[in-house]
Structure 1
Amino acid sequence: MYISKVSLVNYRNFASAKFEFNKGINTIIGENGSGKTNLFKAIRLLLEDSSLHYAYKLKESDFNRALGNWRGHWIIISIEFDEISDDEAIQSLFIHGFGAVQTGSVDRATYNLFFRPKADIRQKLSELDNGDHESMNEILGGLTVEDNYEVFFTGKSNVDFNDPQVYKELVGDFEKVEFPSVIDASKFGTKIPHQLSVSKEISFTFIQALRDVVSSFHNNRTNPLLGLLKEKSGEIEVSEYEPINDMVNDLNSKIEGLKDVQQIKNDIDETIRNAVGHTYSPSALTIKSSLPDEADKLLQSLKLFIGEPNEEHEGSIHELSLGGANLIFLTLKILEFKYQKSKDVFANFLLIEEPEAHLHTHIQKTLFDKLDYDDTQIIYSTHSTHISEVSNVENINILAKKKNYAESYQPSKGLSETNIMHVQRYLDAVRTNLLFAKGVLLVEGDAEEILIPLLFKSVYGVSLDELGISLINVRSTGFENVAQLFHDDRIKRRCSIITDLDDAICDTTINDGDTDKLIKYKKSVEASKKSGLERKERIEEFVKGSSWIKSFYANYTFEVDFMNSGNKHEVKETIEDVYKDITTKKTAKKDITSKDIAVNGKRILTMANNAGKGWYAIILSNYIEEWTIVPSYILKAIVHAKDEWSTSVISSMIKFRLDYNNSNKDEDDATNFKLLYESLDSYSKKEITLNDYYTTLKTEIDDSQLIDLLKELI
């Protein structure tokens, strides 16, 4: 038996989210604050025996903030199980409590938690006339969680709680003021008898995020070693422990009988009698040794001493490195799970929250690889690209943080096995960044990977990382293998494909008298042009109709288009680094200065190929400055990749450009910077629109970089 689906409605930062799981190891990935911990809390409310009482203590703050007014709404947490065992006992449990309605045995079951208004409130709402908002608001206005809400568990539901229409049928339509008078149990599930509980029939272990492991070891309640020792203490044979018990009692007697101990006892007795007299003195006074002779208490006095790898010294937990302490904590919690797993239960679940803290990348990957137990479903949450790299893309759920809510995505949903294999092959530790990003740029080579992030940061003062954009080097033109992830059914994030058209930089007509070398060069240019056109045709067909993917092209190649966007100065600076021969240097400078693309284009490509495109990009990066021009197609790609541009981010980029222009103005510059700064302040406070600011800007300043950016953002 395994968890196949978890549905959350109105719970914490989830307005409506669905998670799909498979047998074996599953991974939840997402940025900080995206809801990984909240998902685990939801699962624990239903399946962790020690957390069940918290289900009855839900609060107003547990409602999703996107609701605005939570009153009258329901929190729904639904777990679906699949491959229910044929075991008679578990079949009895699910048929009577949770199983989907059907004859014979069940192989799928649901377990639901509803946090809802009590019956009297639901009855009042159902009696309202359609559209009577005034009466509805009067009923809802006085509701409190403490007095008017209840927790209700059901099983045997067969609906999709994430469907807005299903929610309206179950809870009601607040806009139309239509509320149900009865709930269809055949759809939404029947009440679960109090005596039935899944948590009592399964092995469930939750390993929390490793934030302060040393403190956990010092706390008797959270010390995993104590938990293991307590469990084992009850299994010790009496005959095996009796000699130890006798030794402890004998040791206590010997400690009590020490001459110095007896002397202190007598001195205390004499001093108190001298102070208050015989009448008010204690009738008896003894100093006793309190070494415990019970097995559980004696075992709890044991401490772990550990040596770091390749060291002979053994120290206590607080002496270990953070990574070493975390690894020991994880080990003990996993051992705790193993002890539970060995019991006679229907299913085994292990939830591990962000295990990567302070762990070396090799340990992260090895840990993930090794934790694969038979008959156990494991669910990790992580923001480690090293764990996501070794995760099966079919078993990944992605959390995307939005304003007041989070969305969940399944990146392989709807893909064929072949396509899944292609995606899996590409998602190494570097490229799995795209699973965490708010937007993605796909590029074909090293030059783009090296220069685009530096170029944008240098010109606009904001990095791609600050924008939440990941730039992924596909290292080929097979963009579809990765870009297919961005889809309405999979990852709902924007993706920009940046590639070259490889248009001919010269006339490729072969003329009489052309040398063999020239003919070869023309054929190569023509072949690249043909390949570029075919690539564009293929990509345009692929992105057609997509809400998320868009393609952007260099007319020629990245290097040629970069240079001819107004960056010949930067390219000329690299000549000294590329060539040693003085004559060649002079020729190269002359070629770069040429207005003929057949000349300057051939030169920069020759320089890049001679140095190696990646190495040449590193050389060129040394000369990128605030005045460098971002090619138009790259700027458009970056703007598309980011779904929402906040006022604060745009203001920061504008100010960066204004500061640059202001600090580099000459005596004849008539720009009214005071007006531009004041208008920027008004825009930052949302007193004027970006379009208003752009109108003012373009009449006052000649900064193509800033003007081009705002054109794209408006």
Structure 2
Amino acid sequence: MYISEILIKNYRNLGNAPFKMELRKFTTIIGANNVGKTNLLESIGLILSQDITMFKKRMLQIEDINYTTRLNFKRDVLNDSISYEKIEFPEVTVQLTFEEMNSKQLSVVGDWFSTKTMEKAKLTYEFKPSNNFDKETWIKEQREKIKQLKSAKEDIKEDELLHFIEFPIKSYQYVIYGGNDRTNRVDPYFLSMLKLELLDALRDAKRELIANGDYKLLYRILNQGNENAYEDIKEVLNTLDEKIKNNKQLKELKKTLISQLNRISLQGSGENNIDFNFTTLETGEILKKLSLIYGQDPITIERNGLGRNNLLYISLILSHLAPEENIDVCFRVVGIEEPEAHLHPHLQKHLANNIEQINASRDDLQIILTSHSTHITSSLNTDNMVILYKNGADVKKHYITDGFKDDKKGKHHRHYLEKYLDATNSSMFYARRIILVEGIAEQILVPVLFNLTYGRTLDSIGCNVINVNGVAFKHFLEIIKNGYFIKCAVLTDGDEGKKTENRATNLKRDYEKPYRNIKVSINKETFEKELIEANKAGKGKNVLLKALNSTRPKLGPEYSEKISNKEIGNEEFFSMIEEYKSEFAFNLGDELKKIGKSDFNVPTYIEKVFEFIMDIEG
């Protein structure tokens, strides 16, 4: 079983317009900070979490209700021309759809089916005014209060008046029901068989691992097992207690202690009798005393680094999910926020490569992972990767491979991207605007040229430069044409006179013309030759020569002296940097950072790309 779809309405920043998203058995969610990744996981917890704190959180606070919805509601209350019958009080809804249930799960969700074929079940959380709440009276009271405020202060503004409308949060109640029937309240016993385990981004792995008593993670996990599983330990401890009682030194100490107690306290019915006990034989008390050590040369949790403890914490949670016959849980959702916390890149990749396989063969487990790490995301299946992003006030979703057909061509694109999207290029999914380039020189210099032109960085407008290392643009454009990216520009060589000279024009035909968010800009010569041609004289010439001198310390000065006041010869200059393109790009970038916009000419085909990327409305 797994949650195949989630519907959210008016929960925090999600659902101003109803937010609906398909989920996979393993789902990776990426996106900018504060876009709603945590809110999505916590919305699932409103239904499935068995944590004692979540029972309280189900009674939402005002801040849990979508701000825009609350504001519009208050404006309607303020507007006397709107009758009270037409005013809609904000309601929060979270709905989970379940599919592919096994026989045990079917017996649990049997009362929650939402289709006649009994292939899907639904659970819905609703938070809204109680049935006995008098909406008409409440609205009249608010409007009377506003009327009095206006009389007392004639120049009071609408925004000020909104603050005086008290949201009736105390009159709200929640209900969780199954199927399509709101009267079908969910039995808590059956609901307890479905659980959410949430590893939040601010988890304190060390504190969870070494906590005392009932709060220790290891104890909470072990204590769910069968008590009879620890009988052999009890037998050993019982024998140990006998040994303690018969130890000569402890006997002498016991005798001395009783003697001293008899001297300083009242004597009576044997209240001064004492004995030694290593531990109680209660299973729970035994388990509380167990602790973990970790490493090739094992050390205590307190001495471990943050990264190791984080891995141990995640591993403990996942081991806790192993199915046990005696535990009455038929389905778990595990939400893991930012598993990359405190892990170096190799460990991030290793974790990502293995975590997706953990639930591959399990029908009682679903993992939802959120991440900001390109090392994590580049190692996971792109079919299961969804981007959350803001579109105005609304949050939208986009699966990376949405629009890919399940044919030979679509599989070829998918296979190429999975192999090619390494940690660097997977960063494209954290941007909404991108520029695709052929090589390292463009990757180095295009951001510098943009900064020179506009006095700001590409990062500041959420734009990445992606080096496709060749001319395999179409694989990336297959992703881009499907609508997530606001703008995508391609900088490519025309390859005139070569076998591939039609490649660039075909890209314009297949991608630029049909899709407004794509622009293909073609240069006549190579990138370097275009830079030379645009700056073969004047101030730009001096910038190029300085970069050449740094790249070719002997040949550069000789060439500068040779041409003197003449223009730079394009072919001759290019021949001196052809084998040093990346080094020349770095050196030119350094020189460009020292000058002003008027000191260097940006080639026209690159300027057009910048204009396209900046024009969001276009």
Task: Give the TM-score of the pair, scaled to structure 2.
Answer: 0.79
What is the distance in 1 between the residues matched to 2:254 and 2:608? 85
Aligned to 1:49: 50
Aligned to 2:497: 527
| Partner deviation per Cα, 1:284-303 (whole Å, 9 max, x = no partner) | 44555464322321231122
Aligned to 1:616: 584
Aligned to 1:671: none
What is the distance in 2 between the residues matched to 1:14 and 1:341? 38
Tell me the CA shift for residue 234 of structure 1.
1.2
Tell me the CA shift for residue 41 of structure 1.
0.8
Tell me the CA shift for residue 434 of structure 1.
0.7
Kept after mapping to 2: 8 A contact 1:66/1:405: no
What is the distance in 1 between the residues matched to 2:463 and 2:557? 38
What is the distance in 2 between the residues matched to 1:366 and 1:580? 44
Q: Bigger shift: 530-539 or 543-552?
A: 530-539
User: Counterpart of 1:453 in 2: which secondary structure?
Assistant: helix
Tell me the CA shift for residue 468 of structure 1.
2.9
| Match for residue 184 of structure 2 among 188, 192, 195 | 192
What is the distance in 2 between the residues matched to 1:543 and 1:341? 58
| Match for residue 571 of structure 2 among 596, 602, 605 | 602
Kept after mapping to 2: 8 A contact 1:410/1:490: no
Aligned to 1:152: 175
Kept after mapping to 1: 8 A contact 2:210/2:291: no
Q: Bigger shift: 110-119 or 314-323?
A: 110-119
Q: Bigger shift: 584-593 or 60-69?
A: 584-593
| Match for residue 77 of structure 1 among 86, 94, 115 | 94
Q: What amino acid maps onto 2:421 in structure 1?
A: L
Tell me the CA shift for residue 539 of structure 1.
2.2
What is the distance in 2 between the residues matched to 1:382 and 1:54? 28
1:626 matched to 2:595? yes
Structure 1 residues 353 and 574, CA, compared in 2 at 3 Å: closer, same or farther?
closer
1:244 matched to 2:259? no
Tell me the CA shift for residue 500 of structure 1.
3.4
What is the distance in 2 between the residues matched to 1:617 and 1:153? 61
Q: What amino acid maps onto 2:192 in structure 1?
A: K
Q: What amino acid maps onto 1:605 in structure 2?
A: F
1:469 matched to 2:488? no
Kept after mapping to 2: 8 A contact 1:14/1:405: yes
Tell me the CA shift for residue 549 of structure 1.
2.5
Tell me the CA shift for residue 410 of structure 1.
1.4
Tell me the CA shift for residue 571 of structure 1.
1.3
User: Counterpart of 1:484 in 2: which secondary structure?
Assistant: helix
Structure 1 residues 324 and 382, CA, compared in 2 at 3 Å: closer, same or farther?
same
Kept after mapping to 1: 8 A contact 2:307/2:341: yes
Can you give the 5+ residue segments of structure 2 that lack an aligned partner in the other structure? 74-88, 141-145, 148-160
Q: What amino acid maps onto 1:615 in structure 2?
A: E
Aligned to 2:287: 299
Structure 1 residues 5 and 638, CA, compared in 2 at 3 Å: closer, same or farther?
farther
| Match for residue 96 of structure 1 among 104, 111, 122 | 111
Aligned to 1:479: 473
| Match for residue 334 of structure 1 among 318, 325, 333 | 318
| Match for residue 398 of structure 1 among 384, 387, 398 | 387
Tell me the CA shift for residue 349 of structure 1.
3.1
Kept after mapping to 2: 8 A contact 1:441/1:497: yes
Structure 1 residues 345 and 642, CA, compared in 2 at 3 Å: closer, same or farther?
farther
Q: What amino acid maps onto 2:91 in structure 1?
A: W
Kept after mapping to 2: 8 A contact 1:593/1:600: no
1:551 matched to 2:520? yes
Structure 1 residues 248 and 453, CA, compared in 2 at 3 Å: closer, same or farther?
farther
Q: Bigger shift: 261-270 or 371-380?
A: 261-270
Tell me the CA shift for residue 341 of structure 1.
8.5
Q: What amino acid maps onto 2:341 in structure 1?
A: A
Structure 1 residues 193 and 622, CA, compared in 2 at 3 Å: closer, same or farther?
closer
Tell me the CA shift for residue 559 of structure 1.
1.8
Kept after mapping to 1: 8 A contact 2:4/2:98: yes
Kept after mapping to 2: 8 A contact 1:578/1:607: no
Aligned to 1:13: 13
Tell me the CA shift for residue 317 of structure 1.
0.7
What is the distance in 1 between the residues matched to 2:543 and 2:24? 53
Tell me the CA shift for residue 589 of structure 1.
6.1
| Partner deviation per Cα, 1:605-633 (whole Å, 9 max, x = no partner) | 3233232x223323333422232536254
| Partner deviation per Cα, 1:100-126 (whole Å, 9 max, x = no partner) | 231xx411222221212233559759x
Tell me the CA shift for residue 382 of structure 1.
1.1
Aligned to 1:710: none
What is the distance in 2 between the residues matched to 1:268 and 1:592? 106
Tell me the CA shift for residue 527 of structure 1.
0.7
Can you give the 5+ residue segments of structure 1 that lack an aligned partner in the other structure? 129-133, 158-188, 503-525, 645-712
User: RMSD over aligned Cα, in angstroms?
Assistant: 3.9
Tell me the CA shift for residue 239 of structure 1.
6.5
1:234 matched to 2:227? yes
Aligned length: 561
What is the distance in 1 between the residues matched to 2:107 and 2:224? 30
Tell me the CA shift for residue 396 of structure 1.
0.8
| Partner deviation per Cα, 1:52-104 (whole Å, 9 max, x = no partner) | 6245321111112232527511111111122233x2x644544422x1231xx
Kept after mapping to 2: 8 A contact 1:55/1:151: no
What is the distance in 2 between the residues matched to 1:450 and 1:483? 21
| Partner deviation per Cα, 1:10-39 (whole Å, 9 max, x = no partner) | 11121343322223x321112332222211
Tell me the CA shift for residue 4 of structure 1.
1.1
Aligned to 2:398: 409
| Partner deviation per Cα, 1:401-445 (whole Å, 9 max, x = no partner) | 567653322122222131433433432211110111242221111
User: Counterpart of 1:5 in 2: which secondary structure?
Assistant: strand
1:213 matched to 2:193? no
Structure 1 residues 222 and 501, CA, compared in 2 at 3 Å: closer, same or farther?
farther
Tell me the CA shift for residue 473 of structure 1.
0.3
Tell me the CA shift for residue 47 of structure 1.
2.0
